[in-house]
């Protein structure tokens, strides 16, 4: 086989065969095919697309490019959850304990944040002592004993996706349906759960900026999952404004804890209950998704979700006292407030700009090598639809470098739109596919 012929074929819009796809994936991982030829192929794929069959095959080739996780030592129907990435998305920290509290085994691998979307692993590392890296036997034992574990994804899972994603990032070829779907689903399939719930974000803070595109991506991922024998459901959710009020690592963990105490923002509470309800249903613990939702609401209201979070933090070496005492989290030394320059209603808070501003406070990284400031980030005082008076607080930025905060504040302030006439609050859950 020859890489030039494969690039030429895709450039002409013809479908690649299974053998050709597996050959270029293997060749890229084993370094017999150079970056420049794969870059050319990615650009051809970007313009000509991938058929469903090509996408299934690419997913499978990437899934088997490294280790796959065998969750068979864990009894029960294991259910995974994945978000396509948003600003302020701390849902995993609420959803996983709720589903686990109701007997659904959660054996989850999460990533670190890059760009303006945060990663669950960074968030969990803001808990003093918390270990995100466990031996596989420890990981499985923990799921069997307390019902859940969340760890960082190891380097040996889907190495093809790691290399391809890094190359896509620097060749402007990230935003392709087939490439996104195969990248996400190869990791989910390699991680071994029996069922998968996907939270597909739509809006200016997400990969998919409009509902139509989000639906195409969601349907494709659901098909890939089901085709591979894993029951898969996608929930399309709003990411025009940040989720909840906190953006930044420890700030988001605190908001997740508050949510499990029943005091969280309405949007994160609604989304967490809905997603865990579906997971409870897929995990065979409820007869319908509606019954799952009711069970999730009860587990949140009576504190079982919070108790499970406490158990989980302790099991992974973290200090569970953070649940009562937020001063145990890494602390900021400086803060900067943003005030409204006019009166009216908040009609928009661009999630993308808040994400960028949060990254500039030190809470996010622009390159994989950068360290994050676990105390840094932004707390919103207003959400879309809220009334605001001139001079009222819109948001507070936290961190350890005033110069960074002052720069970040300019971006954060530009995210807010204040108008005389109010708008309808955006619908959080837009569509569910695959139920």
Q: Catalytic residue among 81, 112, 187, 231, which?
A: 187
Of residues 183, 191, 358, 396, which one binds ligand URA by CB under 6 A?
A: 183
339: contact with ligand URA by CB under 6 A:
no
204-233 positions binding ligand URA, by CB under 6 A: 207
- Respond yes or no: is residue 168 known to be catalytic: yes
180: contact with ligand URA by CB under 6 A:
yes
59: contact with ligand URA by CB under 6 A:
no
Stretch that binds ligand URA, among 12-20, 139-147, 177-185, 381-389 (CB under 6 A): 177-185
62: its two tokens: 């990437």
- Respond yes or no: is residue 161 known to be catalytic: yes
Q: Catalytic residue among 182, 183, 250, 276, which?
A: 183
260-299 positions binding ligand URA, by CB under 6 A: none
Of residues 165, 326, 339, 345, which one binds ligand URA by CB under 6 A?
A: 165
Nearer to ligand URA by Cβ, of 126 and 173: the residue is 173
Nearer to ligand URA by Cβ, of 79 and 200: the residue is 200
65: contact with ligand URA by CB under 6 A:
no
- Respond yes or no: is residue 82 known to be catalytic: yes
Of residues 184, 222, 286, 357, which one binds ligand URA by CB under 6 A?
A: 184
Nearer to ligand URA by Cβ, of 130 and 207: the residue is 207
Q: Please list the active-site residues.
A: 82, 161, 168, 183, 187
Q: Which residues bind ligand URA (CB under 6 A)?
A: 84-85, 165, 174, 179-180, 183-184, 207
């Amino acid at each position: 086989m020859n890489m030039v012929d494969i690039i030429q074929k895709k450039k002409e819009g013809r479908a690649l065969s299974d053998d050709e796809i597996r050959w270029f994936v293997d060749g890229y991982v084993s370094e017999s095919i150079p970056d420049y030829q794969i870059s050319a192929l990615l650009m051809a794929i970007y313009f000509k697309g991938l058929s469903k069959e090509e996408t299934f095959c690419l997913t499978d080739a990437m899934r088997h490019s490294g280790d796959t996780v065998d969750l068979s030592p864990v009894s029960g129907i294991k259910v995974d959850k994945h978000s396509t990435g948003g600003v302020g998305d701390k849902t995993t920290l609420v959803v996983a304990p709720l589903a686990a509290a109701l007997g659904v085994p959660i054996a989850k691998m999460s990533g670190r944040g890059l760009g303006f979307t945060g990663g669950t692993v960074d968030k969990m590392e803001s808990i003093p002592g918390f270990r995100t890296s466990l031996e596989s036997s420890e990981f499985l034992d923990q799921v069997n004993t307390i019902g859940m574990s969340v760890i960082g994804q190891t380097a040996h899972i889907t190495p093809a996706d790691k290399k391809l994603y890094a190359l896509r990032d620097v060749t402007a070829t990230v935003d392709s349906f087939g490439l996104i779907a195969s990248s996400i689903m190869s990791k989910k399939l390699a991680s071994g759960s029996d069922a998968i719930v996907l939270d597909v974000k739509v809006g200016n803070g997400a990969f998919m900026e409009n509902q139509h595109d989000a639906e195409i991506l969601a349907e494709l991922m659901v098909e890939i999952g089901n085709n591979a024998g894993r029951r898969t459901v996608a929930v399309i959710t709003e990411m025009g404004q940040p989720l909840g009020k906190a953006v930044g690592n420890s700030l988001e963990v605190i908001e997740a804890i508050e949510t499990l105490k029943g005091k969280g923002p309405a949007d994160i509470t609604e989304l967490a209950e809905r997603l865990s309800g579906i997971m409870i249903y897929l995990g065979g613990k409820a007869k319908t998704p509606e019954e799952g939702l009711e069970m999730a609401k009860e587990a949140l209201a009576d504190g079982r979700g919070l108790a499970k979070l406490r158990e989980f933090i302790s099991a992974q070496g973290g200090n569970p006292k953070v649940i009562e005492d937020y001063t145990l989290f890494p602390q900021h030394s400086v803060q900067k407030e943003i005030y409204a320059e006019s009166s009216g209603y908040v009609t928009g808070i661009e999630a993308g700009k808040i994400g960028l501003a949060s990254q500039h406070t030190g809470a996010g990284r622009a390159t994989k090598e950068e360290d994050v400031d676990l105390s840094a980030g932004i707390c919103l005082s207003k959400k879309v639809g809220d009334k605001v008076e001139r001079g009222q607080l819109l948001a507070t930025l936290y961190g350890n470098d005033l110069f960074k905060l002052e720069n970040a504040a300019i971006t954060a302030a530009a995210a807010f739109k204040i108008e005389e006439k109010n708008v309808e609050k955006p619908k959080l859950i837009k569509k569910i596919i695959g139920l």
